[in-house]
Amino acid sequence: MRFYQQQHGFYCGVDLHARTMHVCVVDDAGQTREHVNLPCDAGRFLKLIEPYREQVVVSCECMFSWYWLADLCREEKILFVLGHALYMKAIHGGKTKSDKIDSQKIARLLKGGNLPQAYVYPHEMRATRDLLRRRMKLVRLRAQATARVKNTFTQYNIPAPAAKLSRASNREGLAEQFTDESVQKAVGSDLALAGHLDEQLRGIELYLVQHAKIDDPQSFAQLQTVTGIGKILALVILYEVHDIRRFGSVQQFVSYCRLVKCQHESAGKKTSGKGNKIGNASEVCLLGSGTPDAA
């Protein structure tokens, strides 16, 4: 866990939502200068922090809509810190919880050097990384469709096809093996969905490879020289890790890959702790059991 511990004149905590944002600005003496609720409007946010922008640092919790705020701060040359959502326990504790309270807690965690940091992924490669993650969702959706087809064979006690249905050539004529018209329709719809996803995935994968050759062609080529790493695994490593130097040690990287067992210790007693979801789920396939290249 990394904490942001630099000192500034002002600290801006933002409790960010899809349409609104509660903003709290605290000075270095701990006095609250601003504490208002705003729509998610870049102009109004910049106007609010204008008196402080030369000495301010802005922070929000890592949630789905942080991109635009981070990009705005980058464009305006304002320091921005992303808070790690799963480590920010101080936000979720207490008897009373509201957007107003949360924004002030973020500002005070920032001021006190206790704000756990998340990695602010570079703007230039972020959209491509998100497309790579979308590809994985489409692969899983295709796998669900083909699994339903195999399950249907089992339901009617018909020998299921031995070949992998992830290949389009192995799906031909499967619906016709059922005599019931409704079953044929159900199996046919799943096969059609898998075929459509094949087409989508081919286009996405071609686009990703082309962009990888632009973003970091040397790393992309070097990764594929490792035995067992093909184009898809190389893409996952390249875009999820981005810069290996951001990890201070091998242990930190392995923890990021969710391969470290969580353990709590108190008074000499050890128990399995919480926090198994802290890290990057996409990285489990790199050192774990999953293999995206085989998907």
What pTM was computed for the model? 0.82
Taking the C-alpha atoms of residue 234 and residue 252, their distance in angstroms, rounded to an integer, is: 20
Asked if 73 contacts 80 with a C-beta cutoff of 8 angstroms, the reply is yes
For residue 84, give Cα distances in angstroms to 190, 211, 226.
39, 28, 32
Tokens of 242: 């981005």
Domain boundaries, the chain: 3-120, 124-294
Per-residue pLDDT of the chain (295 residues; tens, 9 = 90+): 789 899 999 999 999 999 999 999 999 999 999 999 999 999 999 999 999 999 999 999 998 899 999 999 999 999 999 999 888 876 667 778 888 999 999 999 999 999 999 999 999 999 999 999 999 999 999 999 999 999 999 999 999 888 899 889 999 999 999 999 999 999 999 999 999 999 999 999 999 999 999 999 999 999 999 999 999 999 999 999 988 888 888 888 888 887 777 777 777 777 776 666 677 776 554 544 444 444 3
- Domain at 3-120, CATH homologous superfamily: ATPase, nucleotide binding domain (3.30.420.40)
